[in-house]
Amino acid sequence: MSPRIMHASFPALRLRRTRVAEWSRRLHRETVLTPANLIWPLFIAEGEGVEEPIASLPGVSRWSVDGIVARAKEARDLGIPCVALFPNTPSALRTADGREALNPDNLMCRAIRAIKQAVPEVGILTDVALDPYTAHGHDGLVDDAGYVLNDATVEVLVGQSLNQAAAGADIIAPSDMMDGRIGTIRDALEAAGHINVQIMAYAAKYASAFYGPFRDAVGSRGLLKGDKKTYQMDHANADEALREVAMDLAEGADSVMVKPGLPYLDIIRQVKDAFGVPVFAYQVSGEYAMIEAAAAAGAGDRDALVLETLTAFRRAGCSGVLTYHAVHAARLLGA
C-alpha cells in the first residue's frame, strides 16, 4: 500500500483545517523564499554618474560602473548573494567578430573589478555570449549565409570566459547554446588556475519571445536580423532539454539554468528530478514586463505577483532565480 494513500475521508479529513489561520499556514508551508535565493541582473552603461532607464523594462535602468557598485552594495545590504552583469557596449565597439568581448578593459571587466574591490562579499555572475559585442546581434560568429558557427564561436567564448575570470568573475554563465562550450571553457579555466571559478550553464535556453526588453537593454534588438532558432531550443521540446542538461553536466557545469522561467516550470521540475543538481531559473525581461504591465493595469497586486511567481520557482525545484524584481522581493521578504 502506498504511504501516500489517505485513510481518512470527509468529514474526518478536512484539508482546510490547516489553512484556517496565518500561523498555521506558515507552519505548513512546504517551500520558502529568502533573499538568498535571488540573483539580480544588472545592465552596465558607459560613462560616469549615468543612469539610463529602459523603456520596455519599467523600473530597470542601465548604470555606469559607479552606479553598478552602488547597486552591488544595495544587494549586499538586502542579503542578495549574487549579481549578474550585462554590458551595453557602445555601438562603435561592436564588430562582426565581437572582439570587444576579449578586451581586458571592456565595460564588463571594469564593472567586475570595481565590484570586487568595493563589495568583495557579493558574488559576480557573468554572461558568456557575444550578442552585446557583435554588430549583427547574434551570440556567436556568423558565416556568409548568416549561420552561427559552432566551433569557431566556442573558441572566442573561451577567450571571453578567461577574460572575465581574470577580472574576478565568480560564476561564468555561458548563454550562447553552442555545443561543447562547457567542457572547453572548463578545461581552459583549470589550465589558467581558475579552479574555483564556477560554471552555471544556460543549459536549457529556449528561442523565446520573452527576451525583447533585454535586447533593448543591451542594445542588440535593432541589430538582430531574424531569430536565434538554429542555436536556442524549440519551445515545444522537453526531452531535448534533459539531453542539454546531461551534456553540460557531463562537461563539468556546476549548476544549470532553465530559461525563460514561468512558462518552463515543467522543465525545471523534470531537470531537478532527473539530475538532483542545483537548478536555477531566469525570470526573463518579458516576464518582468508582463508583471509590471499587469500591475499597472490594475490586473493584479504587484507585491503579491512578485512573491507568488518567485515562490513558484522554489516549489518547482529551483535553488535560486535570476530576477529583475530581486531588490523589490528582498525588501518584501524583510531582509
**Residues interacting with ligand PBG, by CB under 6 A?**
127, 129, 131, 139, 175, 211, 214-215, 228, 282, 284-285
Q: Which is nearer to ligand PBG, 110 or 228 (CB)?
A: 228
Residue 73 is a catalytic residue: no
What minimum distance in Å lies between the beta carbon of 72 and ligand PBG?
A: 19
Helix, strand or coil, per DSSP, at residue 124: strand
Residue 205 is a catalytic residue: yes
What minimum distance in Å lies between the beta carbon of 32 and ligand PBG?
A: 25
Give the single-character DSSP code of 121.
T
**Rounded Cα distance, 43 and 41, in Å:** 7
What minimum distance in Å lies between the beta carbon of 108 and ligand PBG?
A: 13
Q: Which residues contact 136 (CB under 8 A, 6 or more apart)?
A: 96, 142, 146, 223, 224, 225
Give the single-character DSSP code of 137.
-
Q: Which is nearer to ligand PBG, 127 or 248 (CB)?
A: 127
Helix, strand or coil, per DSSP, at residue 281: strand
CA–centroid distance for 131 within its chain: 15
Q: Which is nearer to ligand PBG, 66 or 221 (CB)?
A: 221
What minimum distance in Å lies between the beta carbon of 269 and ligand PBG?
A: 21
In the numeric block, the cell 526573463 is attached to 284
Residue 134: which of 122, 144, 142 has the closest Cα?
Answer: 142
Q: Which residue is nearest to ligand PBG (CB)?
A: 214
CA-based torsion, 225, 230, 233, 237: positive or negative: positive
Q: Which is nearer to ligand PBG, 33 or 214 (CB)?
A: 214
User: What is the grid cell recorded at 181?
Assistant: 562550450
Among the options 73, 116, 205, 228, which is catalytic? Answer: 205
Q: Which is nearer to ligand PBG, 66 or 264 (CB)?
A: 264
What minimum distance in Å lies between the beta carbon of 129 and ligand PBG?
A: 3
Among the options 116, 225, 228, 259, which is catalytic? Answer: 259
For the annotated catalytic residues, the residue numbers are 205, 259
